[in-house]
């Protein structure tokens, strides 16, 4: 897996392959400004992004679709907003923490998801580990498998 990633990176750097992100619409400076101006502070001093109710609906739908072992999603808390700007790439996203009820589990679990305000898509790099009864980042599990082999 590491060899494949290295080969792909080499091909992209030398222009022999086009990264998938090059096909995606790029974030404009107006998008960054809109997100920053859209933050509000509630009575408790917590910061919330614009369209929080719509974002929460998308997150609930995403969790139901991607994780069939989840009974329901409770609290969805905005965690952070990240931007990245370089000469080659620009992106931004919001991170949310979801409190969820997993089937056959007594304790509530937490799942981290991201929301891309440019395309309105929700995503998560976390997968359910049945043996540890927790959500773990896919990258962490892949790294563990690579070291075991």
Q: Could you read off the pLDDT of 37-49 as tens digits, one per residue?
A: 888 888 888 888 8
14 CB-near residues (< 8 Å, 6+ apart):
none
pLDDT of residue 46: 83
Question: pTM value?
Answer: 0.73
Residue in 68, 71, 60, 74 with CA at minimum distance from that of residue 113: 60
CA of 32: how far to CAs of 5, 49, 85, 101, 120, in Å?
A: 30, 12, 10, 34, 14
pLDDT of residue 23: 52
Report whether 52 contacts 41 (CB < 8 A).
Answer: no
pLDDT of residue 16: 46
Share of the chain above pLDDT 70, in %: 77
CA distance 73 to 45: 24
pLDDT of residue 127: 93
Residue ranges of domains in the chain? 28-148
Q: Which regions in the chain score pLDDT beneath 70?
A: 1-24, 140-149
């Amino acid at each position: 897996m590491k060899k494949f990633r290295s080969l792909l990176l080499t091909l992209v750097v030398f222009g022999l392959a086009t990264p998938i992100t090059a096909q995606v619409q790029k974030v404009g400076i107006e998008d960054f400004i809109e997100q920053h101006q859209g933050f509000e502070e509630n009575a408790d001093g917590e910061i919330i992004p614009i369209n929080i109710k719509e974002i929460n609906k998308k997150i609930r739908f995403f969790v139901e679709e991607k994780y069939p072992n989840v009974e329901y999603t409770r609290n969805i808390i905005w965690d952070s907003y990240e931007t990245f700007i370089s000469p080659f790439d620009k992106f931004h996203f919001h991170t949310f923490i979801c409190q969820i009820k997993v089937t056959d589990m007594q304790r509530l679990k937490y799942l981290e998801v991201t929301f891309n305000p440019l395309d309105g898509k929700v995503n998560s790099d976390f997968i359910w580990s049945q043996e540890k009864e927790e959500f773990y980042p896919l990258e962490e599990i892949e790294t563990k498998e690579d070291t075991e082999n």
